[in-house]
Amino acid sequence: MALQGIEVEGVIIKEYPAKEGVSGRTGNAWKSQEFVIQTRDQYPRACLFRVFGADKLEQFNIHQGDSVHVWLDINARPWQDRYFNDISAFRVDHVNANVAPAAAPAAGAAPMGQGSMNSADPLLGGDDSTDDLPF
């Protein structure tokens, strides 16, 4: 059974600076950048992912505030007797946030553009202690 890519749609809430270097093994130059995407669900979720390669960074053209649909590849790598997830984007489509999605939202989900992206969102630095999370 092969693990298929996972799709996430939302807003880029954090764009980290790009990192560059030269591989000690191959001598080839590399470039990588990390982003955080937040869903527009009733209870928004966030995911940190990486784009590897200068060509992909230019092609995807991702910036903080962009509404995107991202296809992610997840792979765990061992290091010192532990495993760490590596989440990489292999496809990114920009989405017009003002257009309703073609498919109906899941039961209980807030309509796109409503409820999740406000100043009281703790992931965006808001300070509203009256959240309605079930936990």
Q: How many C-alpha atoms does 67 have within 13 Å on its Cβ side?
A: 11
> What is the DSSP code (8-state) at residue 107?
T
Residues contacting residue 53 through CB under 8 Å, at least 6 positions apart: 30, 31, 32
What does pTM read for this prediction?
0.68
Task: Read off the pLDDT of residues 87-135 as tens digits, 9 standing for 90 and up.
Answer: 999 999 999 866 554 443 444 444 444 443 444 444 444 444 455 555 4
Q: Which residue do the tokens 């991702």 mark?
A: 62
pLDDT tier at 2, thresholds 50, 70, 90: low
Check residue 11 and give its pLDDT.
Answer: 97
Alpha helix ranges (H) inside the chain? 54-60
Residue 21 CA to residue 112 CA, distance in Å, equals: 39
Checking if the pLDDT of 13 tops 90, the result is yes
